[in-house]
């Protein structure tokens, strides 16, 4: 507690939370960049691939929205934390949930990219 009686997050805890958030953000940014590069290269393959590239772009935007919302929800939950134990629990839950979510998103995106690549490789009839 601070001198004025308000709960304050210790600097060490804030640093740890910021580092974990930065790691999650970096992983997601890498994922989005990869998806965008893949979508760009697929778009060059022609009209049959445009649908696949559009799906990739749509899915990437959906993931971005979901992850931003999760981050905002997490930040809001921290504002209502009553003590350090609750902050630690919220942080642990958030990081675990986000890492699971990013892994699922990467897997789904890989499947979409594979399908699009197979469609692009099919001989035109």
Domain count, the chain: 1
Residue 72 lies in a domain: yes
pLDDT band with cut points at 50, 70 and 90 for residue 115? confident
- The whole-number pLDDT of residue 113 equals 82
Residue 55 lies in a domain: yes
Angstrom distance (rounded) from CA 41 to CA 2: 54
Residue 18 lies in a domain: no
* Coil vs helix vs strand at 4: coil
Domain coverage including residue 96: 47-118
CA Rg value for the chain: 20
Give the residue carrying structure tokens 């804030």.
14
Residue 80 lies in a domain: yes
Residue 26 lies in a domain: no
Instruction: Give the range with max mean pLDDT: 42-51, 55-64, 82-91, 111-120.
Output: 82-91
Residue 28 lies in a domain: no
For helices 84-121 and 47-79, give the axis angle rounded to 10 degrees.
180
- The model's pLDDT over 6-19, given as tens digits with 9 standing for 90+, comes to 666 667 776 777 77
Nearest to 59 by CA among 49, 71, 47, 67: 67
Angstrom distance (rounded) from CA 86 to CA 15: 16
7: left (phi over 0), alpha (psi -120 to 50) or beta: beta
């Amino acid at each position: 507690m601070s001198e004025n009686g308000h709960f304050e997050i210790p600097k060490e805890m804030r640093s740890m939370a910021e580092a974990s958030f930065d790691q999650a953000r970096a992983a997601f940014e890498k994922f989005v960049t990869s998806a965008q590069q893949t979508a760009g290269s697929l778009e060059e393959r022609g009209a049959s691939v445009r649908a696949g590239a559009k799906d990739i772009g749509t899915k990437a935007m959906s993931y971005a929205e979901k992850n931003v919302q999760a981050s905002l929800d997490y930040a809001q939950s921290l504002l209502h934390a009553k003590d350090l134990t609750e902050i630690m629990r919220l942080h642990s839950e958030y990081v675990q949930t986000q890492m699971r979510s990013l892994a699922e998103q990467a897997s789904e995106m890989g499947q979409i990219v594979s399908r699009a690549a197979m469609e692009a490789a099919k001989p035109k009839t």
